[in-house]
Amino acid sequence: MPLHDWRDDRGWESVHLLWLAQLLDWIQPRLPAGYRAYLGSVPALTIDTPNGRPDVSVRQWTPSPPESTAGASTSGEMEPEQETVATFTLDPQHAVHIDLHGQLIAAIEVVSPRNKDRPSARERYLGRYAGYLRQGVHLLLIDVLPRPAGFSFADALAANLGFEQSSCPAPYAVSYRVGEAVPEGTVLGMSHRCLQVGQPLGTIPLALDAQQRIVIDLEHSYHEAARRAYLD
């Protein structure tokens, strides 16, 4: 099925969820032994920390003093002077994750309107996507939404990570491979596929390590998601 014109994003939420499910179904039987794929949310505390401030709230309080000291324990046990409770929220955006023996290896993120509809969202999700790469996680980023005009996560990632690339406006799919360490830093490989409205989406590789990769069929997975969402 050719790519739809998502300048009108009505119906996107349904396609988004179905596309992630189809990508998961495509990946699972093609993974080498030991790898597993699943749909997950990313704790903001571990990946997304824009400006060094995770999405976390901390409460502190001091226990109330005892009503009486009579009969106090002489065993040396003491109540803590204060107790701290930290909470964090899971990002509502789901992604396809691939892990090996419990370690996150690769991720597939499909961009939604709320990821880039305002500056704070763009900053938040740019931090999330860059966080994968900085932690050595291979990333496939898919963005078929042309709005807002003039903004591209692929371009923003290039600027954030300090490498040059040609302008990459949506719609696109970009696959990042985090390679071996070298004296100058870490090798980052990139495969880019320009997508066009009315045209098939094709395929793109996703790395599992420096040598292994699987080929993701964007066309098949998108076709099945759109079909199940009853898009013409």
Residue located via tokens 């090798």: 187
pLDDT at 73: 47
Instruction: Indicate the pTM of the whole model.
Output: 0.79
pLDDT tens per residue, range 147-179: 999 999 999 999 999 888 889 999 999 999 998
Tokens coding 229 = 């969402």
In a domain, 100, yes or no: yes
- pLDDT of res. 86: 58
Does a structural domain hold residue 78? Answer: no
Pure H helices in 105-213: 119-134, 153-161
Q: What is the mean pLDDT of residues 37-41?
A: 89
Establish if 86 belongs to a structural domain. no
Report d(CA 66, CA 149) in Å as an integer: 62
Amino acid letter, residue 228: R
Structural domain boundaries enclosing 131: 12-49+91-228
- Exposure b/e, 47-80, CB count within 10 A at least 16 = b: bbbbeeebbeeeeeeeeeeeeeeeeeeeeeeeee
Indicate whether 171 belongs to any domain. yes
Summarize pLDDT for 189-215 with one digit per residue, the tens: 899 999 999 999 999 999 999 889 999
In the chain, how many domains are there? 1
80 belongs to a structural domain? no
Distances (CA, A) of 139 to 56, 104, 105, 109, 134: 25, 11, 9, 8, 11
* Amino acid occupying residue 54: P
First to last CA, the chain: 9
Q: Is residue 60 part of a domain?
A: no
| Cα distances (Å, whole numbers) of residue 64 to 29, 82, 166, 225 | 57, 10, 62, 56
User: Residue 128: which CATH number?
Assistant: 3.90.1570
Categorize the per-residue pLDDT at 99 as very low, low, confident or very high, splitting at 50, 70 and 90: very high
Residue 219 lies in a domain: yes
In a domain, 64, yes or no: no
